[in-house]
Amino acid sequence: MKRKDLETRRRFLKKSSFAAAALTLSSGCSEGVSNKNLDYSIPKNGFHGKSENRRNWSGDIRSGKVIFVAHCVLNQNARIVDAADFPAMHDQLLDYIQKAKVGIIQMTCPETYCLGLGRFDVRVGLEHPAGMERLLRLIDDLIFTIQEYLFQGMEVVGIIGKEGSPSCGVNQTWYNESGHGEGQGVFIRELKKKLRNNKLDIPVIGVADHRQNEAIEWLERELFQS
Protein backbone atom coordinates (compact mmCIF):
# COMPACT_ATOMS: atom_id res chain seq x y z
CA MET A 1 0.00 0.00 0.00
CA LYS A 2 1.37 3.49 -0.92
CA ARG A 3 2.26 5.86 1.93
CA LYS A 4 -0.56 8.27 1.00
CA ASP A 5 -3.15 5.42 0.95
CA LEU A 6 -1.89 4.23 4.28
CA GLU A 7 -2.34 7.67 5.83
CA THR A 8 -5.90 7.97 4.43
CA ARG A 9 -6.79 4.54 5.80
CA ARG A 10 -5.36 5.38 9.21
CA ARG A 11 -7.38 8.62 9.32
CA PHE A 12 -10.55 6.72 8.30
CA LEU A 13 -10.07 4.05 10.95
CA LYS A 14 -9.42 6.64 13.61
CA LYS A 15 -12.50 8.60 12.60
CA SER A 16 -14.79 5.56 12.47
CA SER A 17 -13.72 4.30 15.87
CA PHE A 18 -14.43 7.73 17.38
CA ALA A 19 -17.81 7.79 15.66
CA ALA A 20 -18.66 4.30 16.92
CA ALA A 21 -17.68 5.24 20.46
CA ALA A 22 -19.81 8.39 20.32
CA LEU A 23 -22.79 6.41 19.05
CA THR A 24 -22.38 3.87 21.82
CA LEU A 25 -22.33 6.56 24.50
CA SER A 26 -25.33 8.44 23.15
CA SER A 27 -27.67 5.50 22.56
CA GLY A 28 -27.90 3.53 25.78
CA CYS A 29 -29.34 0.30 24.23
CA SER A 30 -28.62 0.45 20.51
CA GLU A 31 -27.86 -2.68 18.44
CA GLY A 32 -24.44 -4.13 19.26
CA VAL A 33 -24.32 -2.68 22.77
CA SER A 34 -24.74 -5.21 25.52
CA ASN A 35 -27.61 -4.82 27.90
CA LYS A 36 -26.58 -5.44 31.48
CA ASN A 37 -29.96 -6.98 32.25
CA LEU A 38 -29.51 -9.88 29.85
CA ASP A 39 -28.99 -13.22 31.52
CA TYR A 40 -25.87 -14.87 30.14
CA SER A 41 -25.83 -17.72 32.62
CA ILE A 42 -25.30 -21.08 30.95
CA PRO A 43 -27.58 -23.92 32.02
CA LYS A 44 -26.16 -27.40 32.58
CA ASN A 45 -27.02 -28.60 29.09
CA GLY A 46 -24.63 -25.95 27.82
CA PHE A 47 -27.09 -24.22 25.49
CA HIS A 48 -27.87 -20.64 26.36
CA GLY A 49 -30.06 -19.65 23.41
CA LYS A 50 -32.68 -17.24 24.68
CA SER A 51 -35.15 -15.29 22.63
CA GLU A 52 -33.64 -11.93 23.64
CA ASN A 53 -30.27 -13.10 22.28
CA ARG A 54 -31.69 -13.99 18.91
CA ARG A 55 -30.59 -11.33 16.41
CA ASN A 56 -31.45 -10.28 12.90
CA TRP A 57 -28.51 -11.09 10.63
CA SER A 58 -29.94 -9.88 7.35
CA GLY A 59 -28.39 -6.38 7.47
CA ASP A 60 -25.04 -7.25 5.90
CA ILE A 61 -23.45 -9.31 3.20
CA ARG A 62 -22.92 -12.56 5.12
CA SER A 63 -24.19 -15.77 3.51
CA GLY A 64 -25.66 -17.22 6.72
CA LYS A 65 -24.14 -20.62 5.84
CA VAL A 66 -21.43 -22.45 7.73
CA ILE A 67 -19.74 -25.82 7.46
CA PHE A 68 -17.76 -27.64 10.16
CA VAL A 69 -14.54 -29.12 8.84
CA ALA A 70 -11.97 -31.55 10.30
CA HIS A 71 -9.04 -29.59 11.66
CA CYS A 72 -6.38 -31.04 9.36
CA VAL A 73 -8.30 -30.06 6.23
CA LEU A 74 -7.03 -26.58 7.09
CA ASN A 75 -3.89 -27.55 8.96
CA GLN A 76 -1.90 -30.62 7.97
CA ASN A 77 0.57 -29.90 10.77
CA ALA A 78 -1.86 -31.54 13.19
CA ARG A 79 -1.50 -34.91 11.43
CA ILE A 80 0.31 -37.77 13.12
CA VAL A 81 3.99 -38.31 12.16
CA ASP A 82 4.40 -39.15 8.45
CA ALA A 83 0.67 -38.78 7.67
CA ALA A 84 0.44 -35.30 6.10
CA ASP A 85 -0.58 -35.47 2.44
CA PHE A 86 -0.26 -31.74 1.67
CA PRO A 87 2.09 -29.00 2.85
CA ALA A 88 -0.69 -27.08 4.58
CA MET A 89 -4.30 -27.79 3.59
CA HIS A 90 -6.83 -29.38 1.22
CA ASP A 91 -6.66 -26.58 -1.36
CA GLN A 92 -9.19 -28.01 -3.82
CA LEU A 93 -11.99 -28.48 -1.28
CA LEU A 94 -11.33 -25.21 0.51
CA ASP A 95 -11.23 -23.31 -2.75
CA TYR A 96 -14.69 -24.68 -3.59
CA ILE A 97 -16.13 -23.81 -0.16
CA GLN A 98 -14.75 -20.31 -0.37
CA LYS A 99 -16.26 -19.75 -3.83
CA ALA A 100 -19.60 -21.16 -2.61
CA LYS A 101 -19.59 -18.46 0.10
CA VAL A 102 -19.87 -20.84 3.00
CA GLY A 103 -18.10 -19.91 6.26
CA ILE A 104 -15.68 -22.56 7.52
CA ILE A 105 -15.62 -23.59 11.16
CA GLN A 106 -12.44 -25.53 11.82
CA MET A 107 -13.15 -28.23 14.39
CA THR A 108 -10.47 -28.84 17.01
CA CYS A 109 -8.29 -31.85 16.15
CA PRO A 110 -9.55 -34.49 18.61
CA GLU A 111 -6.30 -36.42 18.63
CA THR A 112 -4.15 -33.38 19.35
CA TYR A 113 -6.64 -32.15 21.97
CA CYS A 114 -6.77 -35.50 23.78
CA LEU A 115 -3.36 -37.04 23.14
CA GLY A 116 -1.02 -34.32 21.87
CA LEU A 117 0.87 -33.84 18.62
CA GLY A 118 3.40 -36.63 19.26
CA ARG A 119 0.71 -39.22 19.89
CA PHE A 120 0.91 -43.00 19.48
CA ASP A 121 -1.83 -45.65 19.66
CA VAL A 122 -4.60 -43.20 18.91
CA ARG A 123 -7.63 -45.47 19.13
CA VAL A 124 -6.48 -46.96 22.43
CA GLY A 125 -5.85 -43.48 23.82
CA LEU A 126 -9.23 -42.10 22.79
CA GLU A 127 -11.14 -45.12 24.11
CA HIS A 128 -9.33 -44.86 27.47
CA PRO A 129 -11.55 -43.19 30.15
CA ALA A 130 -9.20 -40.19 30.40
CA GLY A 131 -9.12 -39.72 26.61
CA MET A 132 -12.88 -40.23 26.35
CA GLU A 133 -13.52 -37.60 29.03
CA ARG A 134 -11.63 -34.98 27.04
CA LEU A 135 -13.18 -36.12 23.78
CA LEU A 136 -16.72 -35.76 25.13
CA ARG A 137 -15.88 -32.30 26.45
CA LEU A 138 -14.76 -31.32 22.97
CA ILE A 139 -17.92 -32.73 21.42
CA ASP A 140 -20.08 -30.86 23.94
CA ASP A 141 -18.45 -27.60 22.84
CA LEU A 142 -19.12 -28.48 19.24
CA ILE A 143 -22.78 -29.28 19.88
CA PHE A 144 -23.09 -25.98 21.72
CA THR A 145 -21.69 -24.10 18.72
CA ILE A 146 -23.92 -25.93 16.23
CA GLN A 147 -26.99 -25.21 18.34
CA GLU A 148 -26.10 -21.54 18.58
CA TYR A 149 -25.76 -21.12 14.80
CA LEU A 150 -29.06 -22.91 14.25
CA PHE A 151 -30.77 -20.93 17.00
CA GLN A 152 -29.68 -17.72 15.28
CA GLY A 153 -31.25 -18.85 12.01
CA MET A 154 -28.08 -19.74 10.14
CA GLU A 155 -27.71 -22.84 8.00
CA VAL A 156 -25.27 -25.53 9.11
CA VAL A 157 -24.53 -27.15 5.76
CA GLY A 158 -22.75 -30.18 7.19
CA ILE A 159 -19.82 -31.65 9.05
CA ILE A 160 -16.80 -32.87 7.09
CA GLY A 161 -14.68 -35.59 8.68
CA LYS A 162 -11.58 -37.22 7.23
CA GLU A 163 -11.77 -40.67 5.71
CA GLY A 164 -9.29 -43.26 6.96
CA SER A 165 -8.66 -41.61 10.32
CA PRO A 166 -9.04 -43.55 13.59
CA SER A 167 -10.80 -40.45 14.93
CA CYS A 168 -12.42 -38.53 12.09
CA GLY A 169 -13.19 -41.36 9.64
CA VAL A 170 -16.83 -41.38 8.52
CA ASN A 171 -16.97 -44.52 6.33
CA GLN A 172 -13.34 -45.64 6.40
CA THR A 173 -11.21 -45.84 9.49
CA TRP A 174 -7.95 -47.13 10.94
CA TYR A 175 -8.13 -49.72 13.74
CA ASN A 176 -4.48 -50.67 14.30
CA GLU A 177 -1.33 -51.65 12.40
CA SER A 178 -3.01 -54.75 11.02
CA GLY A 179 -6.52 -53.47 10.47
CA HIS A 180 -8.16 -50.64 8.58
CA GLY A 181 -11.21 -50.45 6.40
CA GLU A 182 -14.92 -49.80 6.77
CA GLY A 183 -16.07 -48.15 9.96
CA GLN A 184 -16.16 -44.90 11.89
CA GLY A 185 -13.48 -43.08 13.81
CA VAL A 186 -13.98 -42.65 17.56
CA PHE A 187 -14.65 -38.91 17.37
CA ILE A 188 -17.20 -39.22 14.57
CA ARG A 189 -18.94 -42.14 16.31
CA GLU A 190 -19.34 -40.15 19.54
CA LEU A 191 -20.24 -36.95 17.71
CA LYS A 192 -23.01 -38.71 15.79
CA LYS A 193 -24.41 -40.10 19.07
CA LYS A 194 -24.55 -36.60 20.53
CA LEU A 195 -26.12 -35.18 17.38
CA ARG A 196 -28.86 -37.84 17.62
CA ASN A 197 -29.38 -37.25 21.36
CA ASN A 198 -29.83 -33.55 20.67
CA LYS A 199 -32.10 -34.18 17.66
CA LEU A 200 -29.68 -32.38 15.35
CA ASP A 201 -30.11 -33.58 11.81
CA ILE A 202 -26.78 -32.40 10.34
CA PRO A 203 -25.25 -34.43 7.49
CA VAL A 204 -21.81 -35.85 8.24
CA ILE A 205 -19.55 -36.76 5.32
CA GLY A 206 -15.91 -37.64 5.00
CA VAL A 207 -13.28 -36.27 2.66
CA ALA A 208 -10.54 -38.56 1.36
CA ASP A 209 -7.25 -36.74 0.77
CA HIS A 210 -6.97 -37.69 -2.89
CA ARG A 211 -10.68 -37.77 -3.72
CA GLN A 212 -11.68 -34.28 -2.69
CA ASN A 213 -13.89 -34.07 -5.75
CA GLU A 214 -16.35 -36.48 -4.07
CA ALA A 215 -16.82 -34.12 -1.12
CA ILE A 216 -17.17 -31.22 -3.58
CA GLU A 217 -19.85 -33.09 -5.57
CA TRP A 218 -21.74 -33.76 -2.35
CA LEU A 219 -21.54 -30.09 -1.40
CA GLU A 220 -22.68 -29.03 -4.86
CA ARG A 221 -25.82 -31.19 -4.49
CA GLU A 222 -26.42 -30.01 -0.93
CA LEU A 223 -26.02 -26.32 -1.70
CA PHE A 224 -27.49 -25.92 -5.15
CA GLN A 225 -29.66 -28.90 -6.07
CA SER A 226 -31.78 -29.64 -3.00
User: What is the contact surface with ligand SF4 in residues (CB under 6 A)?
Assistant: 70-72, 78-79, 109-112, 162, 165, 167-168
The residue among 155 and 214 lying less far from ligand SF4, judged by its C-beta, is 214
The least CB distance from residue 81 to ligand SF4, in Å, is: 11
The least CB distance from residue 117 to ligand SF4, in Å, is: 10
Task: State the amino acid at position 100 in one-letter form.
Answer: A
* Nearest-CB residue for ligand SF4: 72
The least CB distance from residue 179 to ligand SF4, in Å, is: 17
Q: How far apart are CA 55 and CA 68, in angstroms?
A: 22
The residue among 70 and 223 lying less far from ligand SF4, judged by its C-beta, is 70
The residue among 147 and 173 lying less far from ligand SF4, judged by its C-beta, is 173
The residue among 167 and 172 lying less far from ligand SF4, judged by its C-beta, is 167
H/E run at residue 114: helix 110-115
The residue among 195 and 223 lying less far from ligand SF4, judged by its C-beta, is 195
Which residues are bridge partners to 158 per DSSP?
Answer: 67
CA angle 188, 194, 195 (to 5 degrees): 85
The least CB distance from residue 112 to ligand SF4, in Å, is: 6
Q: Using an 8 Å Cβ cutoff, are 219 and 157 in contact? A: yes
The residue among 79 and 192 lying less far from ligand SF4, judged by its C-beta, is 79
The least CB distance from residue 134 to ligand SF4, in Å, is: 13
The least CB distance from residue 169 to ligand SF4, in Å, is: 8
